[in-house]
Amino acid sequence: MTMDSDGNHTSVPGTLKKARLLLALLGMLTFLPLGLLSLDYGMRANNQDRESVRWMRQLDLSVPAFWPSGTGLRHPETRIRAVDRRHGPEWPITPADTAESGPPP
């Protein structure tokens, strides 16, 4: 075993040789995924949805295709306050959205 100028041991004794391997493994488990994630993040952090944004603009679409066609959230312009969509007359009328306008229900 050798020592540096401060008196610290600088070589690894035989019984701790496996520790070096384990430390390397733990380091790899930390820095390899971190490096790959940073690389991927740098490459596509803000352009992953660029193509979809371009098509949204080109086709003048109101809402992204997260929701299936035919549902109210996919076509919010079809939710018309004048049309009562309650399942029963005893149900309360949903308060109107103040940012939208149209004839009162």
Six-digit token pair at 32? 């390899």
* CB-nearer residue toward other proteins: 22 or 91: 22
Whole-number minimum distance, CB 87 to other proteins, in Å? Answer: 17
Told to check if 51 binds other proteins by CB under 8 A, we report yes
The residues with which 9 forms a beta bridge, in sequence order, are: 3
Query: Among positive and negative, which fits the CA dihedral 10, 13, 17, 19?
Result: negative
Q: What does the angle CA 90 – CA 104 – CA 101 come to, to the nearest 5 degrees?
A: 125
Q: What does the angle CA 76 – CA 78 – CA 83 come to, to the nearest 5 degrees?
A: 120
Site for other proteins in 12-31 (CB under 8 A): 12, 15-16, 18-20, 22-24, 26-27, 29-30
Whole-number minimum distance, CB 98 to other proteins, in Å? Answer: 8
Whole-number minimum distance, CB 78 to other proteins, in Å? Answer: 7
CA separation for the pair 38, 65 (Å, rounded): 29
Binding site for other proteins (CB under 8 A): 4, 8-10, 12, 15-16, 18-20, 22-24, 26-27, 29-30, 33-34, 36-37, 40-41, 44-46, 48-49, 51-71, 73-83, 97, 99-103
